[in-house]
Amino acid sequence: MRFLFIILMILPGFAMAAGDDTLPTTTETSKNCKGVKVWDKKTKTCVNPQDSSLDQNELIEAVRELAYVGRNEDAQGVLRQMHNQNDDLVLTYWGFTNRKLGNLDMANVYYTRAITQNPDNILARSYMAQGFITEGRVDEAIAQWREIMDRGGEGSWAEASLRQAIRTGVTYNY
């Protein structure tokens, strides 16, 4: 197993799973909406998330987009408006935005809650491990990488981005 790990760490990254590896789409939300607002395609205006016609998945995409452009506080404002605060993906992005804001302990609380809700949430595992890397906790990051592999995540964006982060020390913001 150790030999396999070493080989995977030195090989260039292989193709990532479709969907997860794409950069967030830049929309009117990050271009023109200020503060905690999202672009509502139906009304063609910037609105409060709770007043929008966006569903849970579209709101998560808005969170990803805002976080990607560095508007983590605004992304958290959108997260606050989401109905199911115990959804493991909502918890994952609470963790992600807190990590990007430098609140590593709080980020890990959210990641742990997300993983408790869904032990197969390899995205939460990858993001948490990337936080470990920024803290120099590489052994813990490797342990999460192994969990991702054991849970069928080999070749996914979560696995490949974490493998790359372990190898280079550079983490991702989407």
Indicate which CATH number applies to the domain containing 118.
1.25.40
Q: Is residue 90 part of a domain?
A: no
| Domain shared by 75 and 35, yes or no | yes
Q: Which residues contact 164 (CB under 8 A, 6 or more apart)?
A: 13, 170
131 near 102, Cβ under 8 Å?
no
Q: Is residue 66 part of a domain?
A: yes
Instruction: Name the residue type at position 143.
Output: A
| Domain shared by 109 and 164, yes or no | yes
Higher pLDDT: 89 or 7? It is: 89
| Domain shared by 126 and 163, yes or no | yes
- Overall number of domains in the chain: 2
**Nearest alpha-carbon partner for 59 in 24, 32, 31, 7:** 24
Q: Is residue 60 part of a domain?
A: yes
Instruction: Name the residue type at position 11.
Output: L
| Domain shared by 115 and 145, yes or no | yes
| Domain shared by 78 and 129, yes or no | no
Q: Is residue 116 part of a domain?
A: yes
Range of the domain at 140: 104-169
Q: Is residue 1 part of a domain?
A: no
Q: Is residue 5 part of a domain?
A: no
Task: Compute the distance between CA of residue 90 and CA of residue 84 in angstroms, rounded to an integer.
Answer: 8
User: Using one digit for the tens of pLDDT, what is the confidence trace for 96-137?
Assistant: 999 999 999 999 999 999 999 999 999 999 999 999 999 999
pLDDT for 24: 84
Over 50: is that where the pLDDT of 59 sits?
A: yes
Q: Is residue 69 part of a domain?
A: yes
Q: Is residue 131 part of a domain?
A: yes
49 near 65, Cβ under 8 Å?
no
pLDDT for 172: 78
| Domain shared by 74 and 109, yes or no | no
Is residue 39 helix, strand or coil? strand
What integer is the mean pLDDT of 54-61? Answer: 93
| Domain shared by 126 and 165, yes or no | yes
| Domain shared by 110 and 164, yes or no | yes
